[in-house]
Chain A
Amino acid sequence: MSGRAALLLFANAARSNRVLVASVVTIMLLAVVAIVGPLLSPHSHITTNLDARLLAPTLSSWHLFGTDDLGRDLFVRTLAGAQVTLLVAIVASAVSLLIGVTYGAVAGFFGGAVDAVMMRLVDVLYALPFTFFVILLMVVFERSLLLVFIAIGAVNWLDMARIVRGQTLSLKEREFVQAARLIGVSRLAIVLRHITPNLLGTVIVYVTLTIPQAILMESFLSFLGLGVQEPDASLGTLVNAGAGHMEQASWMLLAPATLLALILFCFNFLGDGLRDLTDPRKQK
């Protein structure tokens, strides 16, 4: 599938698959709200106000989602958390695109011993239970958002590399690649100019399928206190704080939990929808 075919696919999707389009629109809306919302609110996500602790959601002082046990505004904190979640989605996609596609395309195109060694390395890395190594990493080094991103990136490119390699293997036997070779185009140029653009459709589908896993990993780490650190907020840390205060202040749990579930729903529907669209067995 070429880049233009991928665009056509999205155009067709808009007509045939409402759930897919609804999830794309919801994600975009959430992104806008997550960025603009905190700017419009009079509160900041780290300012504490001990006179306004555990307030239920109210319109009067613009605490739309209420306040937490330190009097911080939950509307702004939840949206700050959503920013982190969406940032994780972008970083995860970027890493699996950059490393996974390059790695897979090189292995697939050069084939032979290069391919064997490169894919063997992927197999070995694949067998390691990464979640536990990521937690170990968080224990050993200073916890920071950057480290969370590195950890997620390290896991994320493996699937992509495998898929891209398989696609490249079949693409390089096609006539247009042989024609390019015949007229003396360099190997690097063939990979970059002729093979990679043709991978685009498959790659887009698999990128969207890996995003929910990356989001889960970040929220999991933050929930355990090993990811984003106070006073900054992530949906994972907010759910954890909410779980601790659910008896007096259920809104502390409900707001971030609902938002996290909503974001994951959208990305799952998006990935499933795109996969079904490109699966020839499901096209009638």
Chain B
Amino acid sequence: MLRYALMRVVGAIPTLFLVVLVAFIMVRAAPGGPFDTDRVLPAEVAANIERAYHLDEPLPQQFRRYLTGVLRGDFGPSFRYSDYSVAELIRGALPVSVKLGVLAMALALCAGISAGLVAALRRNTLTDRVVSAIAMTGVSVPVIVIAPLLVLFFAVQLGWLPAGWSSSGGGSRWIMPIIALALPQIGFIARITRSSMIEVLESEFIRTARAQGLATATIVRYHAMKPALLPLLSYLGPAIAGIVTGAIVVEQIFGIPGLGRLFVQGAQNRDFTLVLGLVILYATVIILLNLVVDLLYGVLDPRVRRT
């Protein structure tokens, strides 16, 4: 297990390095400098700005400077919000995004697993069909459609929930963003749980348990649950990526001051350092969480460790 864990951890390092390198090169390959404006700057001023941002150094040296900065959590100054560093902007927006993501993930897991189990246990009944239809809707209808429709229905038409984000608002402002973010994942998780539970219930050790006269509830709880939920673990990686990208849209629609909105604003203002820093942060989070999932898989399923 230790060997497996070490190999996984060491394997993630080149990927992380590659992320920083590729992102850095892409930004530097941009046609035109970040400070190109319609106004022509005097040569000395331009040179001063370039020196202040270390743009006059050769590229490898710039990359080394950037990489050592990133390792210390320093992503450089923002190109557009000149009084802030990228790290400060990120630190301000991080908590609300983390809270949104974690709550949406928790909802997706609870609702998705319950719906999938119910559908599997009542296979080919009306309940199963209804759950499957709802799951297909979750899978097919993208967040960019769900979120505005929720606002239109529950905020504009019915007036039950607030449409936007007010800094003084209470818990109700969280309800729609979390549901919009969780819905597609609920669909995927319900489908995976349903099909894997059905497969497990048809396997021979469950038949044996049945033959011994165990109650269905006991079989499901003590025998079928663990193998049925194992495939879900490998879906956690894509689910996390889905929640993180979905949050970009949800924060944009509900006006939540999180990382996603910062990212979109940075992208629209062409704030290179901000976008570069956020890409690296997002990539790191996703790669690290995937690593955790891999390790968990190794703990729960001994067969994986040998490969």
B273 to chain A, nearest CB (A): 11
Alpha-carbon distance A34/B148, docked complex (angstroms):
24
Instruction: With a 10 A CB-CB cut-off, give which of B27, B144, B268 has the most chain A CB atoms.
Output: B144
Q: A132-152: which residues lie under 8 A (CB-CB) from chain B? A: 132-133, 135-142
Beyond A141-B31, A246-B156, whether A136 also contacts B145 by CB under 8 A is no
How long is the Cα–Cα vector from A219 to B249 in the complex, in angstroms? Answer: 11
**In the assembly, what is the distance between CA of A220 and CA of B270, in Å?**
18
Chain A interface residues toward B at CB < 8 A: 124, 127-129, 131-133, 135-142, 212, 216, 219-220, 223-226, 236, 239-240, 242-243, 246-247, 250, 253-254, 257, 260-261, 264-265, 268-269
**In terms of DSSP, what is the predominant structure of the interface of chain A?**
helix
Contact across chains for B140 and A133 when beta carbons are under 8 A apart: no
In the assembled complex, B29 has its CB within 8 A of some CB on chain A: yes
Q: Are A132 and B283 in contact (CB under 8 A)?
A: yes
23 contacts between A and B (CB under 8 A): A124-B18, A128-B18, A132-B278, A133-B22, A133-B23, A135-B275, A135-B279, A136-B23, A140-B26, A141-B31, A223-B249, A224-B249, A224-B268, A243-B147, A243-B151, A246-B148, A246-B152, A246-B156, A250-B156, A254-B152, A261-B141, A264-B142, A268-B136
A138 to B144, CA, bound (A): 19
Q: What is B's interface to A at a CB cutoff of 8 Å?
A: 14-15, 18-19, 22-23, 26-27, 29-31, 136, 139-142, 144-145, 147-149, 151-152, 156, 241, 245, 248-249, 252-253, 263-264, 266-268, 270, 272, 275-276, 278-279, 282-283, 286-287, 290
B156 touches A138 (CB 8 A): no
Q: How long is the Cα–Cα vector from A257 to B249 in the complex, in angstroms?
A: 15
Partner pick for B151 among A216, A219, A246, CB 8 A cutoff: A246
B140 surroundings in chain A (CB, below 8 A): 212, 261, 264-265, 268
Residues of A within 8 A of B27 (CB): 136, 140
Which chain B residues lie closer than 8 Å to A137 at the CB level? Answer: 26
Contact B252 A142 (CB under 8 A): no
Q: Is the CB of A133 within 8 A of B272?
A: no
Partner of A127, one of B15, B139, B144: B15
Whether the pair A139, B275 counts as a contact (CB closer than 8 A) is: yes
Which chain B residue has the least Cβ–Cβ distance from A265?
B140
Q: With A220-B245, A265-B140 in contact, is A139–B18 under 8 Å at CB?
A: no
